[in-house]
Amino acid sequence: MPITPATATHSSSNGTADPILLELVDEDGVTIGTAEKLAAHQPPGQLHRAFSVFLFDEQGRLLLQQRALGKYHSPGVWSNTCCGHPYPGEAPFAAAARRTYEELGASPSLLAEAGTVRYNHPDPESGLVEQEYNHLFVGMLQAPLRPDAEEVGATAFVTPAELVERHARDTFSSWFMTVLDAARPAVRELTGPSAGW
């Protein structure tokens, strides 16, 4: 099996390699255990904790990320600013801020909770399944981007109208509209009525 972010291990403090674990949850988002990352995404999927971040510039444009071609899940597709999984015991807010910086090389100037959404989205290309209890975050980005090429293929700031055009033309992650629609009330509160979200 090729080494990918899903199957790679990370070094623990004692120098040994540990598998990447996700936090399994019940339908109420209560932690019930852990599972190895790839195993949690194999059909039918195990419900696990995740997060999705939506960052906006001062003009109210949403930052989209095109996932790098080397990603194990949904490579090359467009999606929200950042998404991922907290480590077991890691607060979703802390994980969202950490991964945004790791992937994009910039930290949000503002980050706020925007609710949760639970979904089940199979990925027909990879055969993997996203069974997620997803914590949503919205915020502002004012720092220049320095994306990690192993994580991010491209970025783009879009208005609502430009998103409609791009969504009709390009391939997006299976979960994108689910998480965006769930986050819209917080997005509108953040960006104001003139932004059109």
* Residues involved in catalysis: 83, 132
Q: How far apart are CA 70 and CA 150, in angstroms?
A: 7
User: Cβ neighbours of residue 82 under 8 Å, at least 6 residues apart?
Assistant: 52, 53, 55, 65, 96, 99, 100, 103, 104
CA distance to 32, 135, 190, per residue, from 118 (Å): 16, 9, 23
Which secondary structure element, helix H or strand E, spans residue 86, and what is its range?
Answer: none
**Paired strand residues for 62:** 56, 158
Phi and psi angles of residue 77, each rounded to the nearest 5 degrees, phi first: -95, 160
Q: CA 140, CA 86: separation in Å to the nearest integer?
A: 21
